Structure 1
Amino acid sequence: MKSAFLLSLSALALSASGALADEIRVLNWQGYGTDLDWSLKAFEEATGHTVVHEYFNSEQEMLTKMRTNPGAYDVVLVNAIYNPQATEEGLLAPIDTSALENYAGIPADFAESDLVTEGGEVYGVPWTWGVTSFAVNTQVFDPVPDTLDVLWDPAHAGRVSIRDDAVEAMQIGALATGQGINDIQDLDAVKAKLEALMPQVRTFWGSENDWNQYMAAGEFDVATYWSGSAARSAAMGLPVEFVVPKEGAIGWLDSLTIPATSEHKEAAAQFIDWMIDPEFYVKWDAEGAPASANADAAAALDETAFNRRVLGDPEVAARVQFQTPVDDDTRQQYLEIWQALKAAQ
């Protein structure tokens, strides 16, 4: 049975001629929810709009693509810590959330985040959130460790991995040295901790596909990872368990935005509303997804679902430190430290 949302979209499609149907161009990580075949087919049937994708491999690449390709994209996935920068550069258009039926399910702590300007204009719709921590190969560990110290355990030398991302690495180092991720006071301690990690590292991973291939080949015992990706990896049959350790973990929020130069803003808003629909999310979650920023979607999950059972646990949530925007000077400082550490490996 169709939801009221799907019925309203179907009515919209029936009232529109084929000439009014748009091609919506989406920029996102590959395999990250917006490009699911079954969802795109249903969306096209309901609205008449088609969706094509282009992908990026880093947030910096995403920003560069928007800067250098005006008019090329209609929906772009932007992590909340990059949203203020993209907004200040004029890359994003304000979004009328009253036109989004499913926006009512977004709780205030997400809706009033860095996606909103001081004047109250919304430049990103909270879509998914999750945790960066680590996952282990369950064929190696019994019991599963509850501490970041496992990354430094000599027993796993040469079978550890960390993502090749300077900010993320520095924040992992901050957690491991008992510091806050958004205001690192003792950079020397973080540098020393990461320097000690380098001999442990088998490789630096860059994409979910990379991570899965190494884990499937049995080359990782433990590696930093994203919660939603770990859920997908487990759904694929990999022997993976995600851990939110006692030291804490990095929380992040991803938003769906509409570029200022989009020529299909109304259709883009319809697609965003589709992506935050609980009916879509519950089906996606069964395949492995990050947590939904829509509370109605989260509540619709089965109680055994990872994103309800684990991330919905107040004790786990209390250990998560959510990222705040990183200024250019700090980002450059982190990059220089990270590059020097890798070069000396």
Structure 2
Amino acid sequence: MKRLLVFVLLFLFGVMIPIGCTADSPNTGRPGRTDTNILSIYNWSTYIDPDVITEFEQEFGVRVQYDTYESNDALLAKIQPGNPGYDIIVPTSDFVEGMAAQGLLKPLNHDNIPNLVNVDPKFLDTPFDPGNEYSVPYQWGTAGIGYDIEATGEKITSWKQMFDPKFAGQVALLEDSRAMLGVILIALGKDPNTTDPAEIQAAVDYIVDHKEVVATFAPDTGQDLLDQGEVAIAVEWSGDVFQVMEENERIRYVIPEEGTIVWTDNLAIPVGARNPEMAEKFINFVLEPEIGAKISNYVKFGSPNKAAIQQGLILEEDLNNPGIYPPEEVFNKLQYAKELGADTQLFDDAWTELKVAIGR
């Protein structure tokens, strides 16, 4: 989600219509504005079609203030001390569970979200949010391997393959402890949600034993490094790689044969939201088949909107792409990262050890 073109579009978009893009103050009492005519959204960068924001503003007579972040940790750090005024946030599955447990999310009124019926049942009533009390699925995807076919000289099909010594200094690992250690645990035949210190240590040791291949740890920018030819292989989120693939025919994406992490990013309303009623209208708006399809076709992630798929609104080339919409036999190998509570510290400590050992 980091293409330069998208940044340019979002910049122009912000100039042409009154959307604030301040990272720290979503709603600070600007003259002529009230809480009821502002909707403050905090979302991952380059994760929406700008036309969707324009359409919502025009239909509901509000102004959208749109800020972005690069990680769930950044989102949590912004909301945990006290919501500065955001009405919509987009946490990933396990963070929904954790934030709800901390009392950071406001329960949803499903009566105000009738378009929830458009969502594929397999993305509803999930273990991280039973009954969708706090969240509604927005997009979904996988952590996988993006690679430059000319640079590798071969198809990449497995996690272990990217650690081949011939790729020395050519691999970007994802700067995400749960996802990165999780996929290595999967490669080793372990549960990505293990809390066994010995198993987590085995994942760390495996990477350290192959540290010569590691060029860098990329904070969700691995697709850019691939596109620019700085690395040959990058562990990245699916849609991010597919976005650069549109402009770079050398780039490929694969869900490794061992399986991987699957996730959903979810629309939620944080406690302290200043316009929760309009937030629920926005959630319902996003769940309209045409709007849901427009977003997914733009960002190149999977749509949880079954109605959009059934109505033929998803681009056929995307729908037939197994990296975006994997077949059932592949989907069955995908695993969610679960909220581990205090045991998350095991992964944090292991990650710190790994970074020190790698020296990147």
Task: Give the secondary-structure state (helix, strand or coil) at the position aligned to 1:291.
Answer: coil
- Mapped partners of 1:30, 1:51: distance in 2: 15
**Unpaired stretches in structure 1, ≥5 consecutive residues:** 1-17
What does residue 284 of structure 1 align with? 295
Shift of the alpha carbon at 1:274? 2.1
Mapped pair 1:319 → 2:330: no
What does residue 42 of structure 2 align with? 27
- Mapped partners of 2:89, 2:254: distance in 1: 29
Mapped pair 1:211 → 2:222: yes
- Matched residue type, 1:150: Q
Task: Give the secondary-structure state (helix, strand or coil) at the position aligned to 1:98.
Answer: helix
Shift of the alpha carbon at 1:115? 5.0
- Mapped partners of 1:21, 1:48: distance in 2: 10
Task: Give the secondary-structure state (helix, strand or coil) at the position aligned to 2:45.
Answer: coil
- Mapped partners of 1:335, 1:20: distance in 2: 38
Shift of the alpha carbon at 1:141? 4.0
Q: CA RMSD in A?
A: 2.3
CA deviations over 1:209-258 (Å, ceiling 9, x no partner): x3243222211111101111122121243632110111111111111001
What does residue 194 of structure 1 align with? 207
Whether the aligned pair in 2 keeps the contact of 1:131 and 1:227 (CA below 8 Å) is yes
- Mapped partners of 2:35, 2:106: distance in 1: 22
Shift of the alpha carbon at 1:284? 3.0
Identical aligned residues as a percent: 23
Sort the Cα spacing of 1:19 and 1:248 in 2 relative to 1 into closer, same or farther, 3 A: closer
TM-score by length of 1: 0.86
Residues 1-345 of structure 1: pairs in structure 2 closer than 5 A: 22-33=37-48, 36-114=49-127, 116-117=129-130, 120=131, 122-183=133-194, 185=196, 186-207=199-220, 210-237=221-248, 239-299=250-310, 300=312, 301-306=314-319, 309-310=322-323, 311-328=325-342, 330-345=343-358
- Matched residue type, 2:237: W
Task: Give the secondary-structure state (helix, strand or coil) at the position aligned to 2:206.
Answer: helix
CA deviations over 1:2-30 (Å, ceiling 9, x no partner): xxxxxxxxxxxxxxxx9896211111111
Number of equivalenced pairs: 321
- Mapped partners of 2:232, 2:319: distance in 1: 21
Whether the aligned pair in 1 keeps the contact of 2:93 and 2:263 (CA below 8 Å) is yes
Whether the aligned pair in 1 keeps the contact of 2:47 and 2:299 (CA below 8 Å) is no
What does residue 16 of structure 2 align with? none
Shift of the alpha carbon at 1:309? 4.3
More displaced 10-residue stretch of structure 1: 106-115 or 153-162: 106-115
- Matched residue type, 1:332: Q
Whether the aligned pair in 2 keeps the contact of 1:24 and 1:49 (CA below 8 Å) is yes
More displaced 10-residue stretch of structure 1: 283-292 or 74-83: 283-292
- Matched residue type, 1:272: I
Sort the Cα spacing of 1:142 and 1:284 in 2 relative to 1 into closer, same or farther, 3 A: farther
Whether the aligned pair in 1 keeps the contact of 2:182 and 2:192 (CA below 8 Å) is yes
Task: Give the secondary-structure state (helix, strand or coil) at the position aligned to 1:324.
Answer: coil
Shift of the alpha carbon at 1:276? 2.5
**Unpaired stretches in structure 2, ≥5 consecutive residues:** 1-32
